[in-house]
């Protein structure tokens, strides 16, 4: 079966929402509340979670053992959202998050996914050639680093806890959070120290 034309999508979405409402699986209010929550969410939430993990070992343990509970502790409502898992990068292992099936993304802590995350190209090529895809982002990892591609699904959403870069010793949580980008939170980029900060 060929993929549906893009112009079919809004009609299909309306039909799906209509069916869910008709079966009392979803109400208009629930839909609006979830949409409002995603509208409010942004990668700044995930960046804050990472910065805190770089500074506080206890928080780091908490984040890695139960991402949803950690998000709740930061005031993010995870009610009804799929569980959030956090993938810990190490000097030997780098994680890349992809939804091979559609566009599952940890919206509660990162907001809406970027357009490329939903593209067929990114989804297919991340699995076949993660090293090549990362290189296109300017993320070149040493040969010895193992790249693990992790599928974000309807049942489990993932974000990455990247390595804290060198040159950030003594930085505050705000300073650290500022270098954790959306792209770093799904593993296509690494947090970088801006040249001005490195020179200071």
* Binding region for Fe ion (CB under 5 A): 99, 101-104
Q: How far is the CB of 87 from Fe ion (least distance, A)?
A: 17
Give the containing element (helix H, strand E) for 85: strand 84-88
Strands 157-161 and 93-98, how do they pair? unpaired
H helical segments located in the chain: 9-22, 28-40, 43-55, 57-65, 67-73, 107-110, 120-128, 130-136, 173-178, 182-186, 195-199
Residue number, 4 or 167, with CB nearest to Fe ion: 4
Q: How far is the CB of 103 from Fe ion (least distance, A)?
A: 5
Catalytic-residue membership of 103: yes
Catalytic-residue membership of 126: no
Catalytic-residue membership of 104: yes
Catalytic residue among 9, 65, 77, 102: 102
Q: How far is the CB of 188 from Fe ion (least distance, A)?
A: 17
Q: How far is the CB of 123 from Fe ion (least distance, A)?
A: 9
Beta bridge partners of 95: 148
Residue number, 98 or 134, with CB nearest to Fe ion: 98
Residue number, 70 or 99, with CB nearest to Fe ion: 99
Name residues whose C-beta falls within 8 Å of residue 165's C-beta, 6 or more positions apart in sequence.
Answer: 179, 190, 191, 192, 193
Catalytic-residue membership of 42: no
Residue number, 16 or 102, with CB nearest to Fe ion: 102
Check if the beta carbon of residue 124 is closer than 8 Å to that of residue 196.
no
Report, as residue numbers or ranges, the catalytic residues: 99, 102-104
């Amino acid at each position: 079966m060929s993929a549906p034309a893009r112009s079919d999508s809004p009609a299909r979405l309306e039909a799906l929402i209509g069916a869910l409402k008709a079966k009392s699986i979803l109400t208009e209010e629930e839909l609006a509340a979830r949409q409002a929550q995603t509208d409010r969410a942004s990668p700044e939430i995930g960046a804050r979670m990472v910065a805190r993990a770089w500074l506080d070992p206890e928080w780091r343990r908490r984040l890695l053992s139960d991402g949803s509970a950690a998000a709740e502790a930061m005031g993010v409502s995870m009610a009804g959202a799929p569980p959030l898992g956090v993938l810990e990068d190490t000097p030997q292992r780098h994680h890349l998050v992809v939804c091979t099936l559609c566009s599952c993304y940890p919206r509660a802590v990162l907001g809406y996914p970027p357009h490329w995350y939903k593209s067929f190209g990114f989804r297919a090529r991340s699995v076949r050639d993660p090293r090549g895809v990362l290189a296109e982002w300017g993320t070149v990892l040493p040969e010895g680093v193992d790249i693990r591609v992790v599928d974000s699904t309807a049942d489990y959403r993932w974000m990455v806890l990247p390595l804290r870069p060198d040159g950030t010793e003594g930085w505050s949580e705000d300073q650290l959070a500022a270098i954790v980008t959306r792209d770093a939170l799904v593993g296509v980029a690494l947090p970088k120290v801006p040249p001005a900060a490195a020179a200071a």
